[in-house]
Chain A
Amino acid sequence: MGFINDKQDLFNELNGLKTVEELFPKFKNIQKDLTSGVDSVKSKSGNIVPLLLDLLKQLIGSNLKESFDELLLKTDKIETKVKKTMVSTIMKNTSKKKDFNLQNIQNPLLETNVKNIDIEGTLKIDPDTDMGKFYYGKAAKTIPASVNGPQVNIDTEPGGDFTKFLSDVKKSGSGNWKNILNVEWPSGSEQLKFNIDPSYQDGSKSFENFLTEFLDSVKILDLGLLLSTILDSLFGAVSSLTDAGSDWLENKMKLKELVNKVVDKESLSKPGEPTVYDTNFFNFTDDEKRKINDATIALTNGNNLADLGCGLVENSVDLRDFDAAFNLLTESSPSSIKKGLTESTDKILKKSTNGLDEDNKKTVGLNIISEIFDNLTTIIFSQTIKPFNVVLQQIGEGLMNQDTSNPSINVGAPGVQINNSSLEKSSVEDYFQKFRTLNICIIKDIYSTIIEFLFGLVKKEVLILLKVRIEILLSTQFQNYKLHIDKARELLKNVKNILSFINNLSG
C-alpha cells in the first residue's frame, strides 16, 4: 500500500541519516533511539499526528514536552483561524441577507431554551465552587450596573469567558456583553432572550460586523480551560467531579470519535477535491459505540494511563494540586502564563509517572505528551462547543430560515432544537450533526494548524541532520582527495628509493 510504504520510507530516510551521522564521532551530538516498524507507520488512519510524533521522538526525544508548551502558547493562531471560519460559515449560510443593516432588526435576535445553546450543560455548574472554576475560563472585566439597566455589565476590553457571563446573568436576570448583546434570563426560567444592544444599532453596522466584533470580544482558547480539558482527557479528573461523571466522559469520548472520523476522512481525501459527507457518516456504528464505551470505562478506571506505561496510577487527581499553576495562567504577563503552563504540564507528568524509575519516567512522559498531542484537535475543538459559538450559530439559523432578504421583522427564532433527552443520541452528537458544516471546517482548521506546527518542528530537526550530513560529505571528499595525494607521494618515494638502489648497485 503506497500510503504505508511512503511512511516507512520516511523512517528509513531518517534512520539512514542518523546512522551515517553516528558513525562519525565528530558529529555525534544527537540522541540514539533508532526504532523501526513503529505503529504509526502500519496504521491505515489518515491522522498523521502519531507519525509526526514518532518522527519527533526520534529527533528530539524528551524535548517534545517543551514543544507542547510552545504550541499551547501559540494557540492565538488557531483562535484567529477558528473565528474567521465561524464568521465565513455563518455568512455563507445567510448569504442572501449579508448586506442587511442591523438597524432594521427587531429584538430579540434569538429566544431559546438554555439546552439549545449550552450543549455540554456547563451552565448547570456554579462557577463560584471549587469544581466550577475548572469549567469556566477567565472572567471578563465588569463595570457597575446602571439604575434601570442590565444587572451584569461587561467592559468593552477584549477577552473573557462568555459562559461565565451567562452564568452571572442566570443569577441576576439580565446582562450586557460589551455593548454588543443584551441577555435576559428570568430567574428560574430555562428560556433566554438575546437582544442586540440599542447602541450597536446606530445604522453603521452590518451583520458581518456584528459577528466579527462579537467573536473578537470573546476568548475561545483559555489556557486554564484547555489544561483542565487535558486533565480530563488523561485522568477523567474534571468530569468525575460532576454528578453525571460517566455521562460527561462518554460525551467527551463521543466527541473524540466524531473528530477522529472527520480527520480520517479529510486527511485521506485527495488534495484539491472537496470531501462529501452524508448524514449517516455521523451515526456511530456498533464497533464505534463499543470503542466509545471501552474508552469511557478505561478512563474511569485509569486503565488508559496504564496503557501508556504509567502502571497503577490513582485515577482521581486532586485538582487543588493545580491551583497555583492555574492561577498563573489567569495573569496577564506572558512570563507568568509560560511559568503556569510549564508547571501545569510538569505536574501532569509527575502525577502520571509517580513511582516509576527514572528511565521509565522518561519513556512514559513521552507517551503522555504524545497522547495529549494526539487528543489536541478534540481538546481544542471542544472549546468551540460553548454558548458564545452556539448562540451565533442559532442566530444564523434563525436568519437563514426567514423568507425575506431584508429581515426587518423579529428574527427571534427559537433556534435549532438540540436533543438532550434521547437515549439514542446525546446533545453533543445532535449538535455536531446539526451544525456539521461549521464543525468540519473548525476541525480542519485546528488539525491542519497542529500538523503545520509539528511539521515545522520535524523540518527544523531534519535540516540540522542534513547540515551535518553535508558536512560529513564534504569532509569525506576532502579526506579522499588528501588520500590520493598522500598515496601518490608515497608511491613516488618508493620509486625514488628503487632508483637510488639501482644507482647504488650500478655504481
Chain B
Amino acid sequence: MSKISSNTSESNIDFSKAASVIKALIGLFKVPSLPAPPVSKRIALSAVLRPGLDYNKIAQNIISESSKVGVVVGDNDDGSDNITEKMEFIRVKAICEAIISDARITIVNLPGQQITATGGNAGGPVQVYGTSITTSNGYGVIS
C-alpha cells in the first residue's frame, strides 16, 4: 500500500480535491450586501397621501414589461383568451390580498429619540425636553 499526501495552494484551496474547489466556486458567487439609503422623514410623511396597492395596476405593469423581453401578450392567435395574462392577474391579486390582510408590520423606535412633553404639578404647567431611553414598539397595516 502507498500513501499519498495532499497539496494545498497558497489560496488555501486544495485544487486536487473536488469538495474544496466546489466550495471555493460557491464562495465566488456570494454577492456582497449593500444597504439601500434611508428614506428621509419628509418623503416618508408624504406616504399618507399614497393611493395604496392596486393589483390591477401591478399586473398591467408586469404584462407590459414582460412584452419587452419577448413574452407574447394579448389574445392568442386563434382569438382565445391569453391564460398567461389571466394567471398574472390572479397571482398578483392573491399576493396583494395576502399582504393587505395578513402582513404584519412591527415598528421599533430606537432609544435616543428626542422628545418634548408637557405636564403639570402644583406649581403649574411643566414642559419637558429629553430623549427616550428604551425602545418602543408600534404596529401598522399595509393598504
Contact = CB atoms under 8 A, between A and B. Distances in A.
Interface of A: 3, 6-7, 9-10, 13-14, 17, 23, 46-48, 51-52, 55, 266-279, 436-437, 440-441, 444-445, 447-449, 451-452, 455, 458-459, 462-463, 466, 469-470, 473-474, 477, 480-481, 484-485, 487-488, 491-492, 494-495
A13 B9 contact: no
B66 to A, nearest CB: 10
A474 B37 CA distance: 10
Interface stretch (B14-22, B72-80, B89-97): B14-22
29 contacts: A3-B18, A10-B29, A23-B69, A48-B21, A52-B21, A267-B16, A267-B18, A268-B17, A270-B17, A274-B5, A274-B6, A275-B4, A276-B1, A276-B2, A277-B2, A277-B4, A437-B4, A440-B2, A444-B7, A447-B16, A448-B7, A448-B9, A452-B13, A458-B25, A463-B28, A477-B37, A485-B43, A488-B46, A495-B49
Contacts of B2: 276-277, 436-437, 440
A495 B45 CA distance: 13
B49 A494 contact: yes
B46 A469 contact: no
Contacts of A477: 34, 36-37
B39 interface: yes
A61 B8 CA distance: 30
Contacts of A466: 28-29, 31
Given A48-B21, A436-B2, A485-B43, A444 B16 contact: yes
Contacts of B24: 455
A480 B36 contact: yes
Interface centre among B1, B18, B69 (most CB of A within 10 A): B18
B3 A275 contact: yes
A197 B17 CA distance: 43
B17 A266 contact: yes
Nearest to B14: A271
7 tightest A-B contacts by CB?
A: A488-B46, A448-B15, A13-B29, A491-B49, A448-B16, A451-B15, A267-B18
A381 B77 CA distance: 61
Q: Is the interface of A mostly helix, strand, loop or mixed?
A: helix
Contact of B34 (A51, A470, A484): A470
Contacts of A470: 31-32, 34
B18 A48 contact: yes
Contacts of A55: 25
A445 B14 CA distance: 11
A481 B37 contact: yes
Contacts of A480: 36
